[in-house]
Chains A and B, each alone.
Chain A
Amino acid sequence: MFQPASLKGDSPTPIDEEFRNKYLILYFINIILSIIPCVLFELGYLGIFWKKGIYLLYFFLLPLNIILLIYLLQFSAIIISILFLTVLKLIYPPKEGTFKRNSKDKDYIYWNIRNIIKKWPLFITASNPFPWFKNRFTLRFFGVKIGKNGMHDNSWISSEFVSIGKNVIIGMNSTLLSFGIEQDTFILRKIIVEDNVIIGAKCVLLPGTHIKYNTKLSAHSYTNFNAILHENSIYMGHPAKLKEK
């Protein structure tokens, strides 16, 4: 909601510098291709209103034009990045597990490339004024399952290997990380959050966490790797432990 400028941004994906320099072309191609539909749209708008001499209507509809432009840019960026992602999936399908953090490990390389491709659409979502764009619109296109009637606009959610159920509340500034880096190893595990779960403010879920039905996680706590939080109970602490009544 009312977050300051220094805390805005897309989900924290530390892309390796080696691969970032290598595959930077993909990032620029994504930007250029997604701007082309916007240019065509603007040309059409100018052609309809300015050249026919309806100047006042041109200025009156200009704010609507800007709003449509933001939506169009977002949509085209998502579609182009999905095209790249489907090609990548055919070459090497993404899978969970523990890998090595080398330039020889194929899973680590392809995880980095996927993040480079997702960078541009996630950057636009984070920097426009409409808060429902990121978790309700963009992440669903990338294959993250997010249920209805939730409240999760102010959290950082990883863009793959996450599934979130219905009626879930995820608090302010809390992060759901489906990847972990520990020295030489690189971990990718799925995070599952079932229905009716409440996650408080400033929580951190590490990869492999499974939160079951109707469980509450109190604010300012984090879960361990592969932690299972059982149903209908309250958890809190560093790391999260069952609260006894």
Chain B
Amino acid sequence: MQNSENSQFKIEYISTSGVYKTPFTLIILLQFFIGCLVVISINLWFYNDLFFLLTGKRFLSFLLIGQWWEWLLLPLNIYGNLLLFAFSVILFSAFLFKVLNKIYPPREGVFEKGSKEWKYTHRRFWMAYFPIWLARSLPLPWSDIFVYRFLGVHIGKNVVAYEGYIDPEFVEIEDYTMTSLNICIFSHLIYHDKILIKRVKIGKTCIVGPQTIISPGTILQDGAILGVNSYTWVNQILDGDFIHVGTPVNKKLQIQSVEESIKKAERIKEESQKKINNTDKKIIGANR
């Protein structure tokens, strides 16, 4: 997709993805409230029974009378409530996210501050914030991949994607790719009064190294490897089955087998030793 606006917009530096704080941020409180209400309404009968076992009174008189074995369910109840709370919040906010998408569908391009795109990207980001925060603080480390799938991001099977920042829209990750610690995958870039949105595609069996940034519009073809500590420029295409390194990416290296690389290292060692020996002889000769 190349708009007429997009070609005029010059990118001189990579900034960051993110959103300002708006009044819509308070949606977090609503999501929290709804999740808690679901958990409490399901647990009312259980705590009514426990209260009866403790004191002999009931605060809800129309429910059953508690049995002694219900104490055994208490640890299961605590762990189940954590999952239930997270699951209800995730379902509720994914539903609202879909509604927002129906009201104003997201588009790619460059947009000014105050336009409808600007407003709705902010709303969608704040809507997606709390479920992803919850999934990442649960004791199940892969649960945030399910949240991303609920929100409409395409993530394939056997993907490692829980140790970095990933934008909640316009990102495609195919099967068997690995992303490392502390990476950033941006499909949005914010300048002062403009926002750039472009789709990021990561192919099959890619590896994204630690401490890297992937800017909007980059395409990693199948089998590409992005090296440690490097970042990509906007609209960059990384060829498949090569290693890419640089800030921004400017070097292309071939993938080697372990034996080849060991042989190469030994060859370099021998050459450097010869050089050192030669220089030593020269120095000794000069001294004499």
Chain A residues packing against B (C-beta within 8 Å): 1-7, 53, 55, 59-60, 62-64, 66-67, 129-132, 136, 149, 151, 153-154, 167, 169-174, 196, 198-202, 216-220, 234, 236-238, 243
Contact = CB atoms under 8 A, between A and B. Distances in A.
A7 B60 CA distance: 44
Interface string B111-143: 000000000000001001110111011000000
A172 B17 contact: yes
Interface of B: 12-21, 25, 28-29, 32-33, 35-37, 40, 44, 59-60, 125, 128-130, 132-134, 136-137, 144, 162-168, 181-182, 184, 186, 190-192, 211, 213, 229, 231, 247
A199 B132 CA distance: 25
A201 B14 contact: yes
A132 B21 contact: yes
Contact of A2 (B13, B14, B129): B129
Contact of A62 (B17, B36, B211): B36
Given A6-B163, A59-B44, A219-B14, A172 B132 contact: no
A3 B183 CA distance: 10
B21 A219 contact: no
A175 to B, nearest CB: 12
Q: Which of A7, A63, A199, A234 has the most CB of B within 10 A?
A: A63
Contacts of A219: 13-16, 213, 231
Contact of A200 (B15, B21, B33, B36): B15
A215 to B, nearest CB: 10
25 contacts: A3-B165, A5-B136, A6-B181, A53-B59, A59-B40, A60-B37, A63-B35, A64-B33, A67-B29, A149-B20, A171-B16, A171-B18, A172-B17, A173-B184, A196-B192, A198-B13, A201-B15, A201-B17, A201-B184, A202-B184, A216-B13, A219-B16, A220-B231, A234-B12, A243-B13
Contacts of B59: 53, 55
A26 to B, nearest CB: 29
A198 B15 contact: yes
Contact of B18 (A5, A151, A218): A151
Given A169-B192, A173-B184, A220 B29 contact: no
A-B CB proximity, top 8 nearest: A171-B16, A63-B36, A218-B13, A55-B59, A219-B14, A201-B16, A2-B132, A63-B33
A129 B12 CA distance: 35
A2 B37 contact: no
B184 to A, nearest CB: 6
A5 B137 contact: yes
A204 B208 CA distance: 22
| Chain A interface mostly | loop
Contact of A7 (B20, B28, B182, B247): B182
Contacts of A199: 16
Contact of A169 (B15, B137, B162, B165): B15
Contacts of A4: 136, 144, 162-165
Contacts of A151: 18-21, 190
Nearest to B164: A4
A136 B13 CA distance: 27
A36 B207 CA distance: 50
A209 to B, nearest CB: 17
Nearest to A245: B12
A67 B32 CA distance: 9
Contacts of B166: 2
Contacts of B165: 1-4, 172-173
A241 to B, nearest CB: 13
Contacts of B247: 220, 237-238
A67 B144 CA distance: 24
A173 B182 CA distance: 9
Nearest to A2: B132
B192 A132 contact: no
A196 B182 CA distance: 27
Given A59-B44, A62-B40, A220-B231, A2 B168 contact: yes
A27 B133 CA distance: 28
Contacts of B163: 4, 6
Contacts of A218: 13-15
Contacts of B136: 2-5
A244 B12 CA distance: 10
A53 B59 CA distance: 8
Q: Which of A1, A6, A171 has the most CB of B within 10 A?
A: A1
